[in-house]
Amino acid sequence: MQQTELAVLDWIAAHCQNPLFDAIFPIISRICDHGEIWIVLLIILLAIKQQRRTGGILATGLILDFVTCNKIIKPLVGRVRPFVVNPDAALIVAAPHDASFPSGHTAVSFAAVFALKGAGSPLWKPALVFSIIMAFSRLYLYVHWPSDVICGAILGSICGILAPKLFAWIEAQIAKRKKAE
Whether residue 164 contacts residue 119, with contact meaning beta carbons closer than 8 Å, is answered with: yes
Q: 15-67, pLDDT tens digit by residue?
A: 998 999 999 999 999 888 889 999 999 999 999 999 999 999 999 999 999 99
pLDDT digits (tens, 9 = 90+) for 115-169: 999 999 999 999 999 999 999 999 999 999 999 999 999 999 999 999 999 999 9
DSSP, res 119: T
Q: What is the pLDDT of residue 91?
A: 61
Residue 73: exposed, middle, or buried by beta-carbon count in 10 A (0-12, 13-18, 19+)?
buried
Classify each residue of 83-111 as buried b or exposed e, where b means 16 or more C-beta atoms within 10 Å of its C-beta. beeeeebeebbeebeebbbbbbbbbbbbb
Structural domain count of the chain: 1
Identify which of 86, 70, 93, 83 has the alpha carbon closest to the alpha carbon of residue 24: 93
CATH number at residue 68: 1.20.144
Task: Give the single-character DSSP code of 15.
Answer: H
H helical segments located in 66-145: 74-77, 82-85, 104-118, 124-140
Nearest to 136 by CA among 40, 9, 4, 2: 9
Residue 86 pLDDT: 85
Q: Which domain holds residue 173?
A: 2-180
**Tens digit of pLDDT for each residue in 74-118?**
999 989 999 888 877 766 566 777 888 999 999 999 999 999 999
